[in-house]
């Protein structure tokens, strides 16, 4: 036993010695080449492709759990399936929404939506898409057991009212419904095939039931998913014939992309993108996303006092965190929703964001003085140390350390509690899992390109309002915004809601994280924004040269 230990340890020592020699005057490239966080430009698209490609190898961060997003949604499954299945509305790279399998939509009154379904669409077995398929799909999504059921809470009825027409009626006017139809609530499945496959629908070995530009050629469990171009597609013909998906974690993904073993990937982790920055043969594109890094105060109560939360927000070095933990590929941000959520009234939201002063990129001495005063005058100062919950991924750990330093700077004690990454997800859904922490270092994104979709989380009885923020006026404004169909009017309401949310520091925003697309320098075309989760991105992928 001791011999083995000695050999193992000697081996490790030898390896590290070699590595030391190799690393030489290593100064840590991330420290030396981190981007300037203020200069990060987000572009929703990449240059249009000019030439055809036979096959592309694409990487996911993990294998899809299922290709039935109604039962098990996940970004890996969504990244694949968005090329196979189509939605009634489609999210565009610039995060706007437009009708897709819907030919025309009318609102005879604010509580009624009439959808005219597109003609000439065929499923991958060649049969035509009918209004019955669409209605079946909508009712399937609305089933209380399905993940999209909450999008249909305001719906009173969905009926076929013509050969190509479905009429949806609402309890109250619903500004977010068409946006939800550009997400998983708008997926259209072939009724016959879904019913035939029953519980096996969406599992390896089953054919798809969709009409998109690609068909599911194979899913070899544990190995790969292959999509092939569907020649009977009603829209533009994709330039790439075949896309093969495999999966790899951070360092394996970086190596595969660097060595050319894979042609591209949308990286969930900004750290992966940081490792690929400036590498030969790889183009990195950054696009808008709704995702942000936030601190979410919990029920435990260490941050129950709004003044303490505001003080923490004022003293947090967001620029330092973005540079240290995310290689400069995150942007200090003053709201809990990324700019990708601005699917309308962009100028209004941009201006409103600039007016917020409670979340400085780098705290000035005046900010620190203000924070200290807030702590001094706080009604409920925390008794013990404020416990920061995180896992030990680099970015989150840097945020946790940044929060610890900020709290210490304003005279409060802090303590970090880490859990293994496999347990980290429980913090979000399980109240008892976060019983020992006062604040969670969190990633958050919304699927709809409308900030109202986020500010729901601050409503008094919302399950994500962990800290117990209560404001009748806030609740009323959110409800009003959800019912306001006019974009400009809704944007004004959202700005007001955003100000109330940030004034009370219900959550403490840290930074927005862009979507990062790593692509071989021979390829171009797909969107660089978060739209890739809901847009057939592979259909626009092709060679740079014709």
Partner 1 sequence: MTAVPADAPAPAPTVRRVRRPVAALVATGFLALVVLAAVFAPLLAPYAPDAVDLSSSLVGTGGEHLLGTDASGQDLLSRVLYGARTSLVAPVLLLALAAVIGVSLGTLAAWRGGWIDTFVSRLTDVMYAFPGLLFVVLIIAVFGTGVTTSVLGLGLAFAPTIAKYTRSVALAERAKPYIDAYRVQGMGGARICVRHLVPNLARSIAGYLVVLFGEALMSLATLSYLGFGTQPPSSDWGLMVQEGQSAIVQGALLPALVPGTAIAAVVVAFNVAGVHLADRLGTRR
Which residues are at the interface with partner 1 (CB under 8 A)? 1-2, 5-6, 9-10, 12-13, 16-17, 19-20, 23, 25-31, 34, 250-251, 254, 271-272, 274-275, 317, 320-321, 323-325, 327, 391-394, 397-398, 400-402, 404-405, 415-421
In sequence order, the 6+-apart residues with CB closer than 8 A to the CB of 143 are 70, 149
Sheet with 214-220: list strands edge to edge. 214-220, 224-229, 240-247, 53-60, 264-267, 515-520, 282-287
Q: Are 380 and 305 a contacting pair, CB within 8 Å?
A: yes
Q: What are the φ/ψ torsions at residue 31 (nearest 5 degrees)? A: -75, -35
Coil, helix or strand at residue 332: strand
Which residue's CB is nearer to partner 1, number 31 or number 235? Answer: 31
Which residue's CB is nearer to partner 1, number 142 or number 274? Answer: 274
Coil, helix or strand at residue 112: strand
Which residue's CB is nearer to partner 1, number 34 or number 533? Answer: 34
**Closest approach of Cβ 317 to partner 1, in Å?**
5
Which residue's CB is nearer to partner 1, number 53 or number 319? Answer: 319
d(CA 516, CA 269): 8
**Closest approach of Cβ 12 to partner 1, in Å?**
4
Q: Are 296 and 431 a contacting pair, CB within 8 Å?
A: no
d(CA 300, CA 222): 41
**Closest approach of Cβ 435 to partner 1, in Å?**
12
How many residues appear in the chain?
546
Q: Which contiguous run of DSSP H or E holds residue 538?
A: none
d(CA 291, CA 61): 17
The two counts, helices (H) then strands (E), for the chain are: 18, 21
Which residue's CB is nearer to partner 1, number 171 or number 417? Answer: 417
Which residue's CB is nearer to partner 1, number 288 or number 389? Answer: 389
Which residue's CB is nearer to partner 1, number 2 or number 199? Answer: 2
Which residue's CB is nearer to partner 1, number 10 or number 163? Answer: 10
**Closest approach of Cβ 277 to partner 1, in Å?**
9
**Closest approach of Cβ 259 to partner 1, in Å?**
14
**Closest approach of Cβ 185 to partner 1, in Å?**
36
**Closest approach of Cβ 251 to partner 1, in Å?**
5
Sheet with 386-390: list strands edge to edge. 331-332, 508-512, 292-297, 439-444, 386-390, 414-418
**Closest approach of Cβ 40 to partner 1, in Å?**
17
**Closest approach of Cβ 373 to partner 1, in Å?**
23
What is the dihedral sign for C-alpha 65, 431, 446, 518? negative
Which residue's CB is nearer to partner 1, number 414 or number 504? Answer: 414
CA dihedral 529, 535, 537, 538 (to 10 degrees): 160
Coil, helix or strand at residue 1: coil
């Amino acid at each position: 036993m001791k011999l083995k230990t000695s050999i193992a340890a000697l081996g490790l020592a030898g390896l590290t010695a070699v590595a030391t020699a190799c690393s030489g005057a290593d100064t840590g490239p991330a420290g030396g080449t981190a981007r300037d966080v203020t200069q990060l430009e987000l572009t929703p698209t990449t240059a249009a492709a000019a030439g055809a490609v036979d096959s592309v190898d694409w990487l996911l961060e993990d294998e899809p759990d299922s290709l039935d997003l109604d039962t098990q949604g996940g970004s890996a499954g969504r990244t694949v399936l968005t090329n196979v299945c189509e939605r009634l509305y489609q999210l565009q790279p610039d995060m706007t929404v437009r009708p897709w399998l819907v030919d025309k939509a009318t609102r005879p009154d604010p509580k009624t939506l009439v959808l005219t379904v597109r003609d000439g669409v065929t499923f991958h077995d060649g049969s035509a898409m009918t209004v019955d398929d669409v209605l079946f799909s909508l009712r399937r999504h609305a089933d209380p057991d399905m993940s999209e059921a909450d999008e249909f809470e305001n719906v009173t009825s969905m009926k076929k009212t013509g050969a190509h027409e479905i009429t949806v009626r609402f309890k109250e006017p619903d500004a977010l419904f068409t946006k939800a139809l550009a997400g998983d609530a708008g997926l259209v499945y072939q009724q016959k095939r879904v019913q035939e496959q029953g519980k096996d629908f969406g599992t390896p070995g089953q054919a798809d039931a969709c009409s998109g530009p690609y068909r599911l050629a194979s899913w070899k469990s544990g190995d790969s998913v292959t999509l092939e171009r569907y020649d009977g597609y009603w829209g533009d013909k994709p330039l790439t014939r075949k896309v093969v998906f495999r999966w790899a974690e951070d360092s394996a993904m970086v190596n595969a992309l660097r060595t050319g073993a894979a042609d591209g990937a949308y990286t969930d982790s900004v750290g992966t993108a940081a490792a690929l920055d400036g590498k030969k043969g790889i183009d990195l594109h950054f696009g808008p996303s709704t995702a942000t890094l936030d601190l979410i105060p919990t029920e435990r109560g260490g941050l129950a006092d709004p003044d303490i939360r505001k003080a923490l927000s004022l003293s947090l070095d967001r620029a330092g965190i973005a540079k240290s933990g995310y290689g400069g590929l995150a942007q200090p941000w003053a709201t809990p929703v990324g700019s990708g959520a601005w699917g309308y009234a962009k100028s209004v939201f941009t201006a409103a964001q600039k007016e917020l002063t409670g979340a400085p990129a780098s705290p000035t001495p005046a900010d620190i003085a203000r924070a200290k005063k807030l702590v001094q005058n706080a009604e409920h100062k925390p008794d013990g140390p404020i416990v920061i919950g995180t896992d030990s991924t680099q970015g989150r750990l840097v945020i946790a350390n940044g929060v610890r330093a900020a709290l210490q700077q304003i005279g409060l004690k802090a303590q970090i509690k880490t859990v293994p990454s496999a347990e980290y997800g429980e913090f979000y859904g399980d109240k008892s899992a976060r019983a020992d922490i006062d604040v969670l270092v969190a990633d958050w994104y919304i699927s709809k390109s409308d900030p109202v979709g986020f500010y729901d989380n601050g409503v008094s009885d919302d399950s994500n309002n962990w800290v117990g923020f209560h404001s009748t006026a806030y609740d009323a404004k959110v409800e009003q915004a959800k019912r306001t169909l006019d974009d400009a009017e809704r944007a004004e309401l959202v700005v007001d809601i955003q100000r109330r949310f940030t004034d009370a520091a219900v959550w403490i925003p840290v930074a927005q994280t862009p979507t990062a697309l790593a692509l071989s320098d021979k390829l171009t075309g797909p969107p660089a924004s978060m739209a890739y989760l809901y847009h057939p991105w592979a259909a626009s992928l092709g060679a740079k040269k014709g």
